[in-house]
Amino acid sequence: MIVAIGCNSNQTSKKETSTAITQEQLDNFEKLLTADGYFWQSKNSRACAVEILFRKDKTATVLAENNQTYIRGNWTFDKSMNKLQIAWEGSDQVFTEVATVNAEGTEISFTKDVYFVCGNNLKRLNLLDKRFEEKVESVE
């Protein structure tokens, strides 16, 4: 009886195929995420859209439901593991890996949704107004 065992040398490891982010992009990821004058928008096919502002002090704000919902959170990025973790106020924590960053730094894809079911792709937009200032209800 002859048993043949083959090995495909063209296989790549999961680590190599799961990420297309370069070391330089990893090193600069926090600067990209928190750049002054910009925020990030995520949309999906279910008409869910959120806007997220990541701050240098490791806090974040999400605006959802046409800016009617204002949610705070805390975030951290571990570049050695390529992992972004976000704790949204009153919700479960999100733990995701950066999959790609385009060459211009205007689009980021993650392996999981950044804010629940609203998508895993972020697009950078200019911050032209004060939408992320905390909503304060007036008392009369």
pTM over 0.85, yes/no: no
104 CA to centre of own chain: 16
pLDDT score for 13: 37
CATH (domain of 78) = 2.40.128.640
Phi/psi zone of residue 115: left (φ > 0), alpha (ψ -120 to 50 degrees), beta? beta
**Enclosing domain of residue 32:** 20-124
Query: In total, how many domains does the chain have?
Result: 1
Is 130 domain-assigned?
A: no
pLDDT tens by residue, 105-115 = 999 999 999 98
Strand partners, 78: 83
Is 15 domain-assigned?
A: no
